[in-house]
């Protein structure tokens, strides 16, 4: 390869690199989706998610609930008319009854690509990183789909509020053989302590 060909290849590589940078623009986490182009990245540029990361535990109505909150960078979301990458909080959980029997465990659950059942992801964090709004996609047949709000109480405690939108289903919509119980605590101001 001669010097001219090398320069042409280098110039072509730079153009492709610049075009891909333009196509995948980065915005702060709280940017409205209405204000970003398709395939953008909403990044945790102010490190607002990190204060929620950890393992938390609480008890509600005799059940022990353990939350495993991690941060995922560049999680891909397909909203049909728009696809974006976003840094999110991801919540896995285990719910045990008073006898220690596991009622629901999503900690090591592997779901097929695109299946959002049992998933909890943050939508945004506000109040200088002290409040997080998340969406829970529910269990079988989307029962339990709703919002979860977390609020930092201290460096080792968070307050939990879960408001499900769908709490029942019918046999027409969901086979009766599937478990449609909601095991997450449907309450407000439940305190979780970091372990």
Q: How many CB atoms lie within 10 A of CB 93?
A: 19
Copy the structure tokens of residue 136: 């829970």
What's the whole-model pTM score? Answer: 0.83
DSSP 36-86: S-TT-EEE-TT--SGGG-EEEEEEETTEEEEEEEEEEEEEEEE-SS-EEEE
Phi-psi region of 48 (alpha: psi -120 to 50; beta: other; left: phi over 0): alpha
Q: What secondary structure, in 3-state letters, does 114-160 show?
A: CCCCCCEEEEEEECCCCEEEEEECCCHHHCCCEEEEEEEEECCEEEE
Q: Which residues contact 20 (CB under 8 A, 6 or more apart)?
A: none
pLDDT of residue 18: 47
- Phi/psi region, residue 46 (left: phi>0; alpha: psi -120 to 50; beta: rest), is alpha
pLDDT at 73: 95
Q: Per-residue pLDDT tens for 119-176?
A: 999 998 888 889 999 999 999 888 999 999 999 999 999 999 999 997 777 777 888 8
pLDDT per residue rounded down to tens, the chain (195 residues): 656 554 554 444 445 454 454 456 999 988 888 889 999 999 999 889 999 999 999 999 999 999 999 999 999 988 888 999 999 999 999 999 999 999 999 998 887 777 788 999 999 888 888 999 999 999 988 899 999 999 999 999 999 999 999 777 777 788 888 888 999 999 999 999 999
């Amino acid at each position: 390869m001669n010097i001219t060909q090398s320069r042409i290849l280098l110039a072509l590589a730079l153009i492709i690199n610049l075009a891909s940078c333009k196509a995948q623009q980065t915005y702060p986490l709280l940017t409205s989706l209405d204000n970003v182009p398709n395939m953008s990245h909403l990044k945790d540029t102010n490190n607002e998610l990190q204060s929620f990361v950890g393992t938390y535990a609480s008890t509600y109505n005799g059940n022990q609930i353990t939350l495993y909150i991690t941060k995922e960078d560049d999680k891909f979301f397909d909203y049909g008319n728009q696809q974006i990458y976003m840094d999110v909080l991801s919540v896995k959980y285990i719910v045990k009854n008073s006898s220690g029997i596991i009622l629901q465990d999503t900690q090591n659950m592997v779901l097929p690509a695109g299946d959002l059942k049992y998933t909890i992801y943050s939508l945004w964090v506000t109040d200088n990183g002290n409040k997080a709004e998340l969406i829970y996609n529910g269990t079988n047949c989307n029962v339990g789909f709703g919002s979860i709000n977390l609020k930092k109480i201290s460096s080792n405690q968070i307050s939990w509020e879960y408001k499900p939108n769908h709490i029942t289903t019918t046999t027409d919509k969901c086979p009766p053989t599937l478990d449609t119980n909601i095991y997450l605590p449907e309450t407000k101001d439940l305190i979780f302590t970091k372990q």
